[in-house]
Structure formats: C-alpha cells, structure tokens
Chains A and B, each alone.
Chain A
Amino acid sequence: MLSAYREIVKFLLLVAIVLLLPLLIQEGYLLNVMVFVGIHSILALALNLLLGYAGQISLGHAGFFGLGAYISGILTATYSINPWAAMLAAATLVTLLAFIVGFPILKLKGHYLAMATLGLGIIIYIIFNEAVDHTGGPSGLSGIPNLSLGGFSFDSDLRNYYLIWTFTLVAIGLSLNLVNSRIGRALRAIHDSEVAARVMGVNARLLKVQIFALSAGLSAVAGSLYAHTMTFVAPASFGFNFSVELVTMVIIGGLASIYGSLLGAALLTVLPEMLRAFQDYDIIVYGLLLIVITMFMPGGLVKGLPGVLTALRRKAAKEESGDA
C-alpha cells in the first residue's frame, strides 16, 4: 500500500510542476519547446510500453506517429471534419492497423522484428512522400486547424502547452495504471521469458499484439496533437531517424521506467535546442549516447544514475577508511 501511496504522491508532484511551470517560463519559444517535450513524452511512453515492458522493439514508430498526424491533417484540412473527431478517427484507424499487422510482425523476434518494423516504417514514409494528391508530397500539408473546445481555440503557445500536457499527464496516469496491473505483470513476464509466461497461462501472442496496437494508437494521438498544434505536417518529421530518436529517448531514460521516458523525451528535445549551433551534427551525439548508455548504463539514467552515485560514494568511503 505504501508504494501505491508514493506513486500517487510522485504523480501529483508532476501535475503540480506541469501546472506551475508557465509561471516560470512565459517566453513563447520555451513554451513551444515544452509543447514538444509533451508530445515526445507521449511517444516515448508509448514506445516504452512495447520496448521496455513487453521487450519488443519497434523501429517504425515514427510511421504510426506520422499516420496519426496525416489522418488528422487530411480529414480536417481537406475534408473539414471536426478536429476532435479526426483525432478519434486517427487513433482508431492506426490502432486497428497495428492490431492487424501486429499478428504477423510480432511473431518475429529480435533482429527480425527490428527489421520488419523498420521496413513498415519506411513503407509508410514512402507513402507520405508519394501520395502527393492526399498528403501534398515532400512539401507537406498545410492549413490544418487548431483544436478548439466550444468557442475556445487552442491557438497560443500557452494554451497549447496546457492542452498537450493534459494529454501527456493522462497518458502517464494510464500507463502507470497499466504497468502496475495484472497486464503489466504479464508483460514483464513475457519480457523475462515468453515460454515461462505461457506456462503460467499468459496469452503471450495476443498480449504482445494488443500492447503493440495500444502503443501505435497512443503514438497516433501524439501525431494528431502534433498536426493540430503545428497546423502543418511534412514527411521529413516522420522518417527512420525519428524512429531511432524515439528509441534513444526510451533507452536513455530507462527501459520499463515511465518517468524515465519523460526524462529521455525532455533531454532529447531540449538538448538539440541547446546544440543548435551544431545544426545537423546532433545526430552524432545521439549515436554516442546510444552506444555509451547501452554499454555502461543498460538501465538508463533513471536507474543508472543512483547506482553510479552510490558507487562513487562507496569508493569515496573506502578511500577515507583506507586513509585512516
């Protein structure tokens, strides 16, 4: 019970930070960065459910994100459908699509799964570029309306900030709930040993597909939010590099750590802003981070840093006792 209580306190603390942050940062640019941190957090969270908890890799999540953005964008900009309805349609369609392709794809393991999801992501990316009549091709799709509630339109940085972070907090709350439930335990069992999980009566195959579909659907919601806040989408945002960036966020923050995803998303969103001077070279930093974290801190920052600190402290203590 105590741990449940602590979880709630942690979550409420996060809610408070999110609510109060705009008091500190009022500048439009920083708020805009925080909007992206929110969207990326949802994506990292979605991928972490699949990668961290179920242990199944996807190198195609940028594709699901993009599908969400494009479905929402096309339905509203071309067919003038209500943005909320478009978001719902995007989420439903992408979840359904992922559920269907999930059955053959998740039969694969390890490197094969990585390559198959990568292939799927690239096919989706190519469609964004080539279906010019619907997507506008490489130059993108513009004129996507903002979301609005009654007469209240989410058209400023501050409004978007609260809109996005409401979704992000809901996603975090749902994920926390999910991973601490029976399903979460079953997922971790699959991660550790699929055979053992099956023996214990977990329908591993179905559960993996379901979590894949959920993860893709959540990414589509993030895509839809992205389309309605940016009011413009272009294929370049949904390529293979972005899929890798998402995996990097999850790995840096920590596999199977909800708050880790938040940290990873924040780091990888703020870092490039700070590395602006380096332009495209930020990709080198990602590459290094991926290698270094996997080699030396396989649990990610959230689990790794405390370990490093205790090790340092222990070393310091040992040196002290050695001196004496």
Chain B
Amino acid sequence: MELADQIAQYLVSGLSTGAIYALIGIGFAIIYNSTDIINFAQGELVMLGGMFTLFSLNVLHLPLPLAILFAVAAATAVGVLFERLTIRPLKSPTPLALIIITIGGSILIRGITMMIGGKDTHAIPAFSGSEPILIGTATILPQHLWIFALTALAITANKLFFEYTITGKAMRACAVNRRAAGLVGIDVKRMVLFSFAISSALGSLAGIIVAPLTMTSYDVGIMLGLKGFCAAIIGGLSGGIGTVLGGLLLGVLESLGAGLISSGYKDAIAFIILLLILFIRPQGLFTKAQTERV
C-alpha cells in the first residue's frame, strides 16, 4: 500500500505543478499564434509575478488580494512595454532576430530584477494557511487547491474571451491569417500587443500562485518558462485544452520521475520529453499535423 500512497501523493503535486506549466504554456501559445514568435522572455514574466507580489506585500504593505492584482498589472505592463520597445520597431523580424531579441529581453528583465531585488530567495505566505487536508491517503495543501481553482478560472476566462468577444475573435483571425485579418480591418499590431498583454497576465498569475509552494527569486523564470514551453509543445501550441493536458502530463511525469527514479535528474525529464516530442511528433501529441512547424 505504501507505494500506492506515494504515487497518489506524487500525482497531487504533479498535477498542481502541471497546472502552472499549462498556464505558462498557454501564454507561449497565444503569442505564437498571433505573431509566430516564441517569446523566450515568457519565463521572466512568471518570475516578475512572484517578485512583484513580494514587493507589494513587503514594501507597499498591500493586503494579499490587492498585491496579486497589482503584481499581475505590473507584470502585464512590463510585457506590453517589452513588445512596444523591442519587437514592434524591429525592421526585419527574421526568426533569428526575434529569438535573439526575446533572449536579450529575458536577460535584461532578470538582470534588472536581480539588481533591484537582490539575489535572495524569498517566501510568499500561502493564500489560506498551510494546514494539509487529507484526501483518501494523500494529503493536499490549501495552496494546491488555490492553484487548481485559479488556473481553471484563468483558462475558462481566456477561452470565453477568445470565443465570445469581438477582440478575441479578431485575435483568432490574426492567428489564422494575419494579412487577411488586416484586410478586413483588424488592427493587427494592436492584436499583437493584446496577445503580449494576455500572455504576460497569465504567466505572472502562474508565478504568483506557485510562489508560496516553491519560493521565489530573480532566477526562477528560466526553468518555469522552459517547462511551460514544453507543455505548449506537447499540446501542439494550442491556446486551449491541448496545452492544459500537456502541462498536466508533464507535471505528473516529472513528479513521478523525481519521486521514483531520481530527484537530481527531475529537470532533465522535461527536456528529454521536449526533445522526444520535437523529434517524433513536432505537431504535438493531441493534434493532427496541419501547419509546418519543422
């Protein structure tokens, strides 16, 4: 029975990290679908979510709900600013130039955060205590429940936005065919800006809700960002359920691998999965091949 208990425990923690990866992954997908850019700075926005929350709790002394709102708004502003200042003015947006610029941006954001906030790792209080709740044989932290609830909420809101609002529909049109969208009068540049705003908001939210479990510091963005990307790749860069499943799958595999095989190689698991998917099924696990990604 003990092994089964352990596995149940790994599943719980795997699913909650997976939800985080899914949120970050959807951020990647939204930007990719409207611009063909893989935003290497996405992870830094996740990090900013945690760091801005810390800042508004400790320096501005805001209550937690306000601190979260402030952090999401601030990180979104950074994401939007980044698009306006570096990506939009680019004269020849070749893939290579975009990769280099978003990498440069990520280094810059990380460096500035380190300069202002220091290199220490900080704890953020859990949203509602840390008294474990017993479910069957596994225990679950209240923060895990927050993660599941807020992730589900964010993903649903995101889905509703893209399905039922004019702006959301316009952004989907841009994803299908940017030129045609422009021809029917959609302001494509504005939609690109929106896509950066939405994905920054989702990313920072992910960074905020995971921070009470994992602590936060200036350099948590790299790994979280890359794993979010991995989730998006598994999901075939869909802005919806594919990436959610991808994130959950990745989280669970990682947690099982770390628990049953070796915790030292935990981070390697995500990248091995990433390489395998890219080699074998670059269109993702759940989609049929449609666009040329290779």
Binding site for B on A (CB under 8 A): 51, 55, 57, 59, 104-105, 107-112, 114-116, 118-120, 122-123, 126-127, 129-130, 240, 244, 247, 251, 280-281, 283-284, 286-291, 294-295, 298
Q: Specify which of B38, B107, B119, B226 is in contact with A111 (CB 8 Å cutoff).
A: B38
Q: Which residue of B lies closest to A288 (CB)?
A: B108
Known: A111-B95, A130-B265, A284-B111. A290 touches B104 (CB 8 A): yes
- 25 A-B interface contacts by CB (under 8 A): A55-B96, A57-B96, A104-B278, A108-B282, A112-B293, A114-B99, A115-B229, A119-B271, A119-B275, A120-B275, A126-B268, A127-B268, A244-B103, A247-B100, A251-B100, A280-B114, A283-B114, A284-B107, A287-B109, A287-B110, A291-B101, A291-B104, A294-B101, A295-B89, A298-B91
Q: Specify which of A104, A280, A283, A290 is in contact with B279 (CB 8 Å cutoff).
A: A104
Top 8 nearest A-B pairs (CB, nearest first) are A290-B104, A287-B107, A287-B108, A284-B111, A110-B95, A111-B38, A119-B271, A291-B104
Contact status B86-A295, CB under 8 Å: yes
List the A side residues contacting B119 at CB < 8 Å: 280
How would you classify the secondary structure of chain B's contact residues: helix, strand, loop or mixed? Answer: helix
> B105 on the interface (CB 8 Å rule)?
yes
> B29 on the interface (CB 8 Å rule)?
no
Contact status B100-A294, CB under 8 Å: yes
Q: How far is the CA of A240 from the CA of B110 in the complex (A)?
A: 14
Binding site for A on B (CB under 8 A): 32, 37-38, 40, 86, 89-92, 95-101, 103-112, 114-115, 119, 222, 226, 229, 233, 262, 264-265, 267-268, 271-272, 274-275, 278-279, 282, 293-294
Q: Which residue of B lies closest to A51 (CB)?
A: B96
Contact status B107-A115, CB under 8 Å: no
Q: How far is the CA of A268 from the CA of B111 in the complex (A)?
A: 17
Contact status A130-B264, CB under 8 Å: yes
Q: Specify which of A105, A126, A283, A294 is in contact with B111 (CB 8 Å cutoff).
A: A283
Distance in angstroms from A265 CB to nearest chain B CB is 17
Q: How far is the CA of A294 from the CA of B110 in the complex (A)?
A: 19
Contact status A295-B278, CB under 8 Å: no
Contact status A111-B275, CB under 8 Å: no
Q: Specify which of A108, A281, A289 is in contact with B278 (CB 8 Å cutoff).
A: A108
Q: How far is the CA of A291 from the CA of B111 in the complex (A)?
A: 14
Q: Which residue of B lies closest to A115 (CB)?
A: B229
Q: Which residue of B lies closest to A103 (CB)?
A: B279
Contact status B222-A119, CB under 8 Å: no
List the B side residues contacting A122 at CB < 8 Å: 226, 267-268, 271
Q: Which residue of B lies closest to A286 (CB)?
A: B107
Q: Which residue of A lies closest to B229 (CB)?
A: A115
Q: Specify which of B90, B103, B222, B293 is in contact with A290 (CB 8 Å cutoff).
A: B103
Q: Which residue of B lies closest to A278 (CB)?
A: B115
Q: How far is the CA of A167 from the CA of B98 in the complex (A)?
A: 34
If A104-B279, A287-B105, A291-B86 are given as contacts, then 5 extra A-B residue pairs at C-beta distance below 8 Å, sorted by A number, are A107-B294, A122-B267, A280-B114, A284-B111, A291-B108
Contact status B38-A114, CB under 8 Å: yes
Contact status B96-A284, CB under 8 Å: no
List the A side residues contacting B268 at CB < 8 Å: 122-123, 126-127, 130
Q: Specify which of A115, A118, A294, A298 is in contact with B104 (CB 8 Å cutoff).
A: A294
Distance in angstroms from A138 CB to nearest chain B CB is 11
Distance in angstroms from B284 CB to nearest chain A CB is 12
Distance in angstroms from A88 CB to nearest chain B CB is 28
Q: How far is the CA of A64 from the CA of B98 in the complex (A)?
A: 24
Q: Specify which of A118, A130, A290 is in contact with B100 (CB 8 Å cutoff).
A: A290
Q: How far is the CA of A118 from the CA of B282 in the complex (A)?
A: 16
Q: Specify which of A123, A240, A286 is in contact with B272 (CB 8 Å cutoff).
A: A123
